[in-house]
Structure 1
Amino acid sequence: MSLKPWREIAVPHEDVLKGTFQQAEFAADLSRVHEGSATVEYQNPTLFFQRTFITEGMRLLLDSVVKRLSGKGGDPVIQLQTAFGGGKTHTMLAVYHIANGESPASNLPGIPAILDAAGVTELPRARIAVLDGIKSSPNQPVIRNGQPIRTLWGDLAWQLGSAEGYSLVADADASGTSPGKAVLETLLSRYAPCVILIDELVAYVRQFEEGKTLTGGSFDSNLSFVQALTEALKAVPTAVLLASLPESDKEAGSQRGVKALASLSHYFGRIQSLWKPVGTDEAFEIVRRRLFTSINDKLAAESVCRAFADYYTANSEDFPRETQESRYFERLMHAYPIHPEVFNRLYEDWSSLDNFQRTRGVLKLMAKVIHRLWKDNDKDPLIMPGSFPLQDADTRNEMIYYLPQGWDPVVERDVDGERAETTEIENRDTRLGSVQACRRSARAIFLGSAPSTANQMVRGIELERIALGVAQPGQQVGIYKDALRRLGDRLHYLNSGNNRFWFDTRPNLRREMEDRKRRFQDKEDVFPAIRDRVQKTFASGVFGGIHIFTASSDVPDDWQLRLVVLPPDSAFSRSGQSLAIDRAAEILKTRGDQPRFKQNRLIFLAADYDSVSRLKDQVRSTLAWQSIVSDIKEMKLNLDQFQSRQASKSLDDANEALRRMIRETYKWMVAPMQEARPGKGLSDIQWEHFPVNSGAQNLSQEIERVLKENELLITQWAPIHLATVLKNWFWKDEVKEANAINVWQQSCQQLYLPRLKDDTVFQATLAAGAVSRDFFGFAYGKEGDNYLGFSYGKNTSLIMDSSLQLIEPITAAAYLEVERATEEAARANPSDAATGTTEPGRGETPRAFDSAKPTYRPGGDAAPQVVKKQFYGSIELDAIQAKKQFADLVDEVVLQFTSRPGVKVKIAIEIQADATIGFDDSLQRAVKENCNVLRFKSAEFEE
C-alpha cells in the first residue's frame, strides 16, 4: 500500500523547518506584549490568531468578554485555572488583542464569528491594565513619569488613567492599604470599558511574610484589594477582570503560596466564572496550528487516516479497543500529521513529570522532532511514537532533560543510535531491519515508559500500545512481536512482565534470573524453602508444638495443644474441593498406622489455594536471586559493582516479597468440631475456617487472637461452662460424680467438647468454682456412699490426681446436710462416739443412695439398683478376611464404647497358627521381628 508521506501533505512553519526557534518563542509573555517588546508571533494580533486554535472553552470566554465590554452582560470576573502549561497566559493574550483594537476584527481569524454570535457589530476599544505577579516586586516601587508606584492598586490606576487615575488611589498606594470598593468602583467607571489582566497573582502575594508590611503593602492588604476589586467590578457593566491561578498546591510553591492560593481562590470564588481552557483533544489542534502552516492535500490526509483506521479494524486483536471505534478515524484526522498515540503518551505520561508543561513542553519537543524528521527526509505517513529520532542528540537531550539522571546510557545502548543493540540486531536481521522493527519498538517503549517510576504498582506500556505506536498499514504486526522477543533477550535495560514492557535506568539481570528459576522443583527445592520461611514467622505462643509440613506419624498424639501447618499442595479453598480438609482429616484420624485419640488437641494452618502458585513462583525467584548473588561472591559471574549491588537489592526485595507472600498465603485457620446434643448422638466431623490477618506483625499472636475470638481455643473458662459440660456428658442417670482427670482428658479427645489451652486452664476453672455451691463439689474418692476428702462451697487446695471427683451440686448439697446432721447428732450424744460411730466421710457405715431423692439416710432399708460396669466379648475371625472383619468390629462395637465419656476399652488379640510340617527358620525370624516391632506381649513358637 502506497501512502503519501506526511511531509508531502503538511508543511511545518518556517522556524520549525529551519530549527531557528528558541525556548522563549514558546513562552507567551503578557507583560512583554503589553510593553510592545514580544516576538512578532505574539505581538502581531493577526499572526497570533493565525497560530491560535480557538477551543470551545476559549470561544465561550471570548464571547463573555465581548458581551461584557459591549454592555450586554457577560461575567465581570473570570478565573483561569489550569495545570502547569495549560494555556492560561495564551488565553489572556487572546483577550488582550481583541480588546486592544489595534487590528480590526475582520483581520483576526475566528473572531468575527464570535462577535456575530454575541450580537456585536463592532467591539469598542478598551483600556487594558496588565498586572504581572512575577514581574512586580512587593518591595521595589516602579517609577512612571517620576511617580513611584508601590502597590498593585497603584499600578492598576496608573495603567487605566495615568496620573489622573493614580490620584484616586495615591494615598492608599503610599500607605500600602487597600483603597476600598468605592474608590475602585469610581476608577473603573471613569475609564470603562476596561480589561484587567492579572497573571501569576499567587507568585506575587506569597512573597509577603505574615504580619510584615512591605512597600507593596501586606499579605492582608493585598487580599483586601482583591476582594474590593471583585466587588467593584460587579457595579461597572463594561469592566472585566481575568486572573490566572495555579491548579494545585504543588504549583503554588511554598507554604505561603499554598495559603495565598487558598485565600485568593476564596475571594475569586465569590464572583468568578471558573474556566479551564484546554481539553486533551483540543490540544491536538493547538499543537498542529502552532507547528504546521496548513494541510496542502486534505484528500490525501484523509486517505492516510482511513488506511490506518481500516488497518486497526482488520487487526483488532493486536490493537487497543479504542481503535475499533468509528470515532478513532476522527481522532486521526484531528491530530494529523501526528499520530494520536503521540499526544496520549505526552499528555498522559510526560505531563505527570514536575517540569514538563502540558502545552509548551509538547510544543518544544515536537518542534525538534519534526525538524529532525524533515531534515532526514522521513517518509512515514504519520509521525508516530516509533518515529521519534532519538539518535539525534538534540531530540534525545530534550526528552532526557525532563527525566532523572541515568537515562542517557539507556537510550544510547538499548534504544537508538549507531551503537545501540537495536541497530546491531537490525543489521544482522534484514527482515527486522527493513522496517526498523527493533528501533521503532524500543522508541515506542521509551516514550511510553520513561516517565514511570520504580515504585509504581503497574509499570510499562502494554504490547497492544507498542503495536499502535509502530505498525503501519501494509505491515504484519507479528514482525514487531518478533522484534520484542529479540529485544527481551538482548537489551540491557529492558524489563517485561504481564504483557507490559518498560525501560529502567538499572541494568537488567532479570533474564538470568528467569533462566535460573526453571532449575528449581517443588518437592526438592520450593517446599523446603517455604517450610524454612514459615518456621521463621512463628514465635513462642499457646502451642505445645508447631509441626510444619509434618507427616501424620510424626505429629504426637498427646495432651499438648498442637498447630499443624499443612504443605502448599494441601491448600484451602472456600469453593470446590479443599485439599487442606482432606489432609487435615487424615492427620486427625490417624497417627501413621495407629488411630489418633487426642483429636481435640490439633488445629491446622493452611495456605490459600488462589495464592499458592504466586508463592511458589516467588520462592523460585528468590532462590534464583540467591544463586546469582552467591555466584557473584564466588566470582562465577563477571559483573560490575553497580550490577552486583542491583543483584543484592533484588535479592533483598525478593526476600521481603517472599516474607509478605508467606503471610498472605498462609491465612486460613482450620479446626475440626462436632455438634452433639445429649441423647441425640454426634454429627459428622465439621471443619471451621477463619482468615488470619496477614498484616499483623506477630503471626503467633494473630493466630492466638483468631482462636480466642472464634472460641476455637479457651484460655479462661468459667466454672458455669464446666458445670454445663458435666451435666450434659458426665453426670448421667445415677452417676453423680465425674473423675476430674477423665473430664480433662475427654476434652482433649472429643471434638464436641471445648478445646482448652492446657490443664492449667482446667485447674483454674476448678479452683474458681470451688468457693461456690452453684457448680460442683469435690472429693478424693468414695467408699460406699461416703466421700473421702469432701469439699463443697469453700476455698480449698485442690490436687488434680486420679482420685479427684467432681460431684453434682444437688448431690453435694444433700451430702453436706447429712454430714452436718451427723456432726450435730454426735455433739448431742457423746456416747455414740464412744461406741465407735463416726462421721460421714470418715469411715462410717456405708449408706444407700436413693436416686429419686437427693438425700442420704443411714442403714440398708433400700436395696441399691445393680449397675453393670464391665463388658467382655470374644470372637473368632477368618484368617483371610481378618482385616475387614476387624475394621467392622471396631466401627460397630468398639466405637460404641469409645464414643462415651469415662469408658476405658481394652482390646487383646490372640493369634494361633498350626502347621503339620512345621515353620522354617526364615518364617520364624520374620514373624518374631515383626511382633517385636508391633510390641506383642508374647510371641512364641512351640513344637
Structure 2
Amino acid sequence: ATVIDPTEDDETVKVICRRLFTRIDRDKARAVISAYKSLWDANRELLPPAPAEDRRLDEFAAGYPLHPELVNVLTQKTGTLGNFQRVRGMLRLLARTVARVWQTRPADAYAIHTHHIDLGFEPIRLELVTRLKQDIYVPAIKAEIATVETTPALAEQLDAGPFRGLPKYGSYVARCAFIHTLAFNDTLRGLNAEELRYAILSPGTDVAFIDDARKRFATDSAYLDDKPGAPLRFLAEANLTQIIRREETNTDRDEARTRLNSFIRDLFAGPNLNLIPFASGPHDVPDDDGSGRPYLVMLGYEATQVFSDAVTVDNLVEKVFLHKGGGTDWRHNRNNLVFLVADAAGVPNMKAKMLRNIALESLRQPGKLKDLADYQVAKLQELHERSKQELALAVQQCFRHIFYPSRNRLDEANCDLAHTVVDIQTASDRPGDGQRQVVTQLQNAGKLRLPTDKPDSPVYVRDRTPLKKGQITTAALRTEFRQDPSLPMLVGDDVFIKGIRLGIDQDDYV
C-alpha cells in the first residue's frame, strides 16, 4: 500500500489561503512584506540565522497574510500530532484565528502570526484542547495564558501591568510558547529566544519589549519547563515555581509573623543604638538606662506605617517621645530617642519575602527533596541562599523612615521631631546590617556622634548649653546632651570627654 499525500508542502499554504480569503491585495501585500524584510535585516543578529537558501520572502508572499513562521509551526510541529490533519486541521484552526483577528482588529496585526491564535477565544481553545486532545495543558492555560474563570492569567496580568497601552506582549509570548509545545516529539517542543523574536516581530512590535516579556513570563511561570537550557515550552505538571508557591500558601501565617519579627530584631540590633523593637507605648521605653547609648525605638509595622507621599508624626511616636511610664509623666531625656517606622509600600513585599524564605527552607527537608529532580534540588539551594539576602533587603527597604529630635521639627508636627528617610539605593547596600544604615543617616543629618567622631567645638557646646551662664558640672552637661533636641546625640561618653578636654585646653571651659 502507498500513502498518497494530495498536497505538497509548498501547495498547502496556497490551498489554505484560497479557502480562507475571498481576495488578497498582492500590491499591498508586497509593501507589508518589504517592511518585514527591513525589520529582519535590521535585527539580523537577534533572529535565527537565515538558511543557506533563504525562501522566507517567497513563502511570505505565497501565504500572505499568514506569517511564514505560523505556517511552519503548524506543519512542522502541530502537524506531527496524530489527530491533526494537516490541511483540514489547519483550516479549522486558522478560520477561527482569522475570525478572532477580524473581530478584535489589533493595531499591530500587519500579518497573522502564531500569537494571534488566541486561547482566550473559546472556539480556538476548544479546537486545541478537545479536538486535538491536549486537555493535559488545561491547568497551564487557565493559570498562565488566558482567563477561563475569574482570576487573570499570568500573561494577561503582564498585559495589564508593565505592558499596559502596548501590544499584548505577555499574551504573545505565552501563546507562541504554547503552540510550539504542541508536537509529538519532545525534541520539537518549544522555541528559543531568537525564534520567539522572529515569531512576534512585526512593524507594530519591538524586540526589546519581546525580550522583556519573555523574561518576566519565564520568571513567574509555574508551568514552563524549568530544566537548565530547556526551550520555552509548557509542561503538563507544575514546575519548581509552582511547588514553591504551594508551599508558601500552606505556610502558617502566625509562624511567618513570629519569624519575621525575630529577623527584624536581629537585623537592627547593633553596638551603637539600644534597640527597643515593636514598642507599643511609653512604658516600653525607659527614660534612660545608663548605658550611654541612645534608644532606637522601632514601631511595629502592623501598628504604624508611613506613607512616603504624606509623611507625618504618628500619634504613637509623639506619645512615646513626650511621655514615659504609664504615659502621664513627662519624658526628660527626649534627645536620647530615635524612631524607626515602616514604609507602607514596603510591608507587603517584606511579608512575601518572609513567606518565600520559610517555604524554601521547608522544601529543603529530606522528605520533600526526594520528590524533586536533581536540577530542581540544585535550583532550590540557590533560591534559598538568595532568599536570605532578598529578605534582608526587603526589611531594610521597608524600615527606612527615621524620626529624630530636632528644633527644626517636621511641618505640622506637635513636638520637636524631624524626619529623614533612607533612600532605596542606600537601603540595598550591605544587607543584614540595618542599624548601620540608621546610624549613617543620622550622621549625614549631623545628629549623631560616635566615639570615634571628632567632638563638636567647645565654643559650639558652650554657647548652646547652660555652660554659657557660668559653671556647670560635667554630669549636668552630659545630661543636657540627652535632653536638648538642638544638640547632637552622643553614643557613649568618649566623644563627650574628648570635647571636655579640648574645651579645657582651649580655656573655653572652667
Q: Distance in 1 between matches of 2:31 and 2:48?
A: 11
Displacement, 1:687?
Answer: 2.8
Displacement, 1:593?
Answer: 1.1
Q: Distance in 2 between matches of 1:624 and 1:370?
A: 38
Matched, 1:374 2:86: yes
Number of the residue aligned with 2:497: 763
Displacement, 1:704?
Answer: 2.4
Q: Distance in 2 between matches of 1:683 and 1:535?
A: 29
Pick the aligned partner of 1:685 from 392, 396, 416. Answer: 416
Distance change (3 Å), C-alpha of 1:539 and 1:549? closer
Alignment of 1:157-556 (within 5 A): 287=56, 289-290=58-59, 293=62, 335-338=64-67, 368=76, 374-375=86-87, 377-378=89-90, 379=92, 380-381=94-95, 382=98, 385=114, 421-422=136-137, 444-446=176-178, 451=192, 459=214, 493=224, 503=234, 508-518=239-249, 524-538=254-268, 540-543=270-273, 545-552=274-281, 553-556=283-286
Contact 1:493 1:508 (C-alpha < 8 Å) held by counterparts: yes
In the alignment, structure 2 segments of 5+ residues that lack a partner are 1-5, 14-28, 99-111, 118-128, 142-147, 149-171, 181-189, 195-210, 227-231
The one-letter code matched in structure 2 to 1:599 is R
Q: Distance in 1 between matches of 2:447 and 2:308?
A: 19
Deviation track 1:622-663 (CA, whole Å, cap 9, x = no partner) reads 223333333xx2459844544444444443343332222122
Q: Distance in 1 between matches of 2:130 and 2:461?
A: 76
Matched, 1:83 2:77: no
Displacement, 1:610?
Answer: 1.0
Contact 1:626 1:651 (C-alpha < 8 Å) held by counterparts: yes
Q: Distance in 1 between matches of 2:88 and 2:44?
A: 35
Structure possessing the higher radius of gyration over alpha carbons = 1
SS at the partner of 1:738?
coil
Q: Distance in 2 between matches of 1:605 and 1:588?
A: 12
Alignment of 1:35-114 (within 5 A): 83-84=44-45
Displacement, 1:770?
Answer: 1.0
Distance change (3 Å), C-alpha of 1:535 and 1:506? farther
Contact 2:297 2:339 (C-alpha < 8 Å) held by counterparts: yes
What percent identity do the matched residue pairs reach? 13
Q: Distance in 1 between matches of 2:332 and 2:77?
A: 80
The one-letter code matched in structure 1 to 2:388 is N
Q: Distance in 1 between matches of 2:444 and 2:130?
A: 58
Deviation track 1:551-570 (CA, whole Å, cap 9, x = no partner) reads 44343321431222222222
Q: Distance in 2 between matches of 1:86 and 1:536?
A: 50
Number of the residue aligned with 2:125: none
Matched, 1:772 2:506: yes
The one-letter code matched in structure 1 to 2:255 is D
Contact 1:673 1:688 (C-alpha < 8 Å) held by counterparts: no
The one-letter code matched in structure 2 to 1:691 is V
Number of the residue aligned with 1:721: 460
Q: Distance in 1 between matches of 2:79 and 2:369?
A: 49
Number of the residue aligned with 1:602: 337
Displacement, 1:747?
Answer: 1.7
Contact 1:13 1:291 (C-alpha < 8 Å) held by counterparts: no
Deviation track 1:382-403 (CA, whole Å, cap 9, x = no partner) reads 4763798xxxxxxxxxxxxxxx
Displacement, 1:86?
Answer: 8.1
Q: Distance in 2 between matches of 1:646 and 1:741?
A: 59
The one-letter code matched in structure 2 to 1:755 is M
Contact 1:416 1:443 (C-alpha < 8 Å) held by counterparts: no
Identify the structure with the greater helix proportion: 2
Displacement, 1:442?
Answer: 7.3
Contact 1:81 1:88 (C-alpha < 8 Å) held by counterparts: no
Displacement, 1:83?
Answer: 1.7
Number of the residue aligned with 2:198: none
SS at the partner of 1:657?
helix
Q: Distance in 2 between matches of 1:88 and 1:638?
A: 40
Q: Distance in 1 between matches of 2:460 and 2:247?
A: 58
The one-letter code matched in structure 2 to 1:690 is V
Matched, 1:623 2:348: no
Distance change (3 Å), C-alpha of 1:654 and 1:376? farther
Q: Distance in 1 between matches of 2:294 and 2:140?
A: 64
Displacement, 1:612?
Answer: 0.8
Contact 1:52 1:290 (C-alpha < 8 Å) held by counterparts: no
Matched, 1:613 2:348: yes
Identify the structure with the greater strand proportion: 1
Distance change (3 Å), C-alpha of 1:645 and 1:744? same
Q: Distance in 2 between matches of 1:424 and 1:510?
A: 14
Number of the residue aligned with 2:429: 696
The one-letter code matched in structure 2 to 1:446 is F
Distance change (3 Å), C-alpha of 1:370 and 1:515? closer
Distance change (3 Å), C-alpha of 1:772 and 1:610? same
Higher relative contact order by CA 8 Å / sep ≥ 6: 1 or 2? 2
Displacement, 1:712?
Answer: 1.6
Number of the residue aligned with 1:741: 475
Cα root mean square deviation, aligned = 5.1
The one-letter code matched in structure 2 to 1:745 is T
SS at the partner of 1:705?
helix
The one-letter code matched in structure 2 to 1:556 is P
Q: Distance in 2 between matches of 1:509 and 1:88?
A: 33
Distance change (3 Å), C-alpha of 1:55 and 1:647? closer
Alignment of 1:574-613 (within 5 A): 574-576=308-310, 578=312, 581-593=314-326, 595=329, 596-613=331-348
Matched, 1:16 2:10: yes
Distance change (3 Å), C-alpha of 1:626 and 1:457? farther
Displacement, 1:374?
Answer: 3.3
Displacement, 1:527?
Answer: 3.4
Contact 2:248 2:355 (C-alpha < 8 Å) held by counterparts: yes
SS at the partner of 2:287?
coil
Distance change (3 Å), C-alpha of 1:518 and 1:585? farther
Deviation track 1:701-738 (CA, whole Å, cap 9, x = no partner) reads 33322211211213422111111113xx4544xxx222
Deviation track 1:245-272 (CA, whole Å, cap 9, x = no partner) reads xxxxxxxxxxxxxxxxxxxxxxxxxxxx
Contact 1:417 1:423 (C-alpha < 8 Å) held by counterparts: no
Q: Distance in 2 between matches of 1:87 and 1:618?
A: 38
The one-letter code matched in structure 1 to 2:265 is Q
Contact 2:137 2:236 (C-alpha < 8 Å) held by counterparts: no
Q: Distance in 1 between matches of 2:7 and 2:60?
A: 6
The one-letter code matched in structure 1 to 2:462 is A
Contact 1:52 1:289 (C-alpha < 8 Å) held by counterparts: no
Distance change (3 Å), C-alpha of 1:424 and 1:571? closer
Contact 1:16 1:371 (C-alpha < 8 Å) held by counterparts: no
Displacement, 1:509?
Answer: 3.9
Contact 1:601 1:748 (C-alpha < 8 Å) held by counterparts: yes
Number of the residue aligned with 1:673: 406
Number of the residue aligned with 1:752: 486
Displacement, 1:571?
Answer: 2.2
Contact 1:538 1:700 (C-alpha < 8 Å) held by counterparts: yes
Q: Distance in 2 between matches of 1:415 and 1:625?
A: 37
Q: Distance in 1 between matches of 2:86 and 2:419?
A: 72
Pick the aligned partner of 2:440 from 705, 716, 725. Answer: 705
Alignment of 1:788-803 (within 5 A): none
Contact 2:306 2:342 (C-alpha < 8 Å) held by counterparts: yes
SS at the partner of 1:737?
coil
Deviation track 1:797-848 (CA, whole Å, cap 9, x = no partner) reads xxxxxxxxxxxxxxxxxxxxxxxxxxxxxxxxxxxxxxxxxxxxxxxxxxxx
Q: Distance in 2 between matches of 1:618 and 1:377?
A: 47
Deviation track 1:92-144 (CA, whole Å, cap 9, x = no partner) reads x9xxxxxxxxxxxxxxxxxxxxxxxxxxxxxxxxxxxxxxxxxxxxxxxxxxx
Distance change (3 Å), C-alpha of 1:291 and 1:768? closer
Q: Distance in 2 between matches of 1:762 and 1:513?
A: 53
